[in-house]
Chain A
Amino acid sequence: MRGNYRSASIFRTGQHQRIAFTPLWTLLSVFTGAMLALMVVQAAAPLSAWALPTPLDTVNQVINQSLPVLRDKHTPVPQRRRQLRGLLERHFDFPDMARITLGYHWRELKPAQRDQFTELFTAFIENAYLSKIQDYSGQDVAVLGQNSEGAGFTRVSSQIIQPGKAPIKVDYLLRELDGDWKIYDVTVDAISIVANYRNQFNRVINDQGFDKLMADMRAKQQQLQASMGS
């Protein structure tokens, strides 16, 4: 009937019937529309968004948990190092990094040598990273975003903001291992750390052999350890 309800042209039927906009009908239609919208969004978003950590989560965790430790001048340095070491072991994929840095020499090693090398390489990288604590002077880190590099591989870009100077670009390459994303390479200003060590180790193994490489790396790692202890 004509009256004080508005007509909606989209609901106009052939017989010029008008559906009344009663409050109950409005409520039901809005509720249905919202449910439909939510279902569409949930279907479109990847399952991992709610179930499993994303690469960005991993990088954000590393940064957000390490920056306070780096900035905290009150806690003694050895304790801060222990906290950072735990962070590194949780989020970095050291076995993969060790294998990549040896490249095709990996297949020439016996399993005992491989284990030795992985252990030494892990200690070396950890010491290198931790010895940078004294160089940190409160810079902020901005995580910019992630790009897929293929199935199970991602690149996360970030920047270290230095007041008065150009920012340092730091990229992280992550791979998925058992539902968790772990870092297997760090690229600082276009120089990939793993590739750099791969070139060095390749040269040392070709010129002087694997044992010399282990000896040199052990010496460097102990130098770093000594410089941190002082």
Chain B
Amino acid sequence: MIEKKVIVPNTLGIHARPATQFVKIASKYNCKVTVIKDGIEADGKSIMSLLILTATKGSKLIIRCEGPDEKKAIQELAKLVEDGFGEE
């Protein structure tokens, strides 16, 4: 299991479009993906779970991956968040 802390940098936070991108990437991997905000855990392959985190700009998140391809998965997912999902 590995974890990585990230901060949501884009103005609008993890709304539908960013969540879609996140789920699409997470679903490519076999490992279990969890996103944690303020102690609340969300399944990283479930768009509704991600949306109800209501992660806005500046939210501190922990991404946790567990499984054979966890290293690759966490790398790609953390980069997606850190780059602000390609938004401002």
A binds B: no
